[in-house]
Structure 1
Amino acid sequence: MHVDEGRRAAEVGDWVAAGHAFVRAAMDGSAEGAELATQVTVELVPLADGGSVEAAALLAGIYLEYFDESALCLWPCVMLARRPRPGSRPDSAPTGTCW
């Protein structure tokens, strides 16, 4: 039931609703729901980057529950690596590293 709800939400581009539905399916024991929850992270990252607190919280929860701890570093590192060097022009090369 939740998987179908998630698929319907994904079809219309409501990735936050889709993610929540897939997580609910996974919490009910659905392996498919867990797999779909991990896959929806690709769509949640741009929403979180754009300022959606709900997408960011959902993304963090999926990372914590369905990925190993190395995935928790991935998103902040990618965001940091995309930022321009301090004091540089906005179109300059990114810093390139998070450590």
Structure 2
Amino acid sequence: MSKFGELISTNVPVLFNFFTDWNDDSTSMHPVLRDVAAAVGDKARIIKINVDKNPQLSEALRIKGLPTIIIYKNGEMKWRQSGLQDGSSLISLLNQFAR
């Protein structure tokens, strides 16, 4: 989990997508997040985390619903939501936190 600490400590917003391959809502977020990543460029980072492969981190963050999207900046959680999200809202949030 020290790697996670390094990832969230940047001054660039980092969006984490907690997902599984067997959850339809999780997999349907992948193309949305590709579009978000293309739109924000280097103003933010997008990182996908498979909860099945990262059970300790998922448990520590109390990930229950899938997908769960969390945005961190400077080591602080700025935004968190479970369920499907639309790309334009995520782009708007990342742009807001990139300031």
Structure with larger RCO (C-alpha < 8 A, sep 6+): 2
Q: Which has the higher helix share?
A: 1
TM score, norm. by length of structure 1: 0.26
Highest CA radius of gyration, 1 or 2? 1
Q: Which has the higher strand share?
A: 2
TM score, norm. by length of structure 2: 0.26
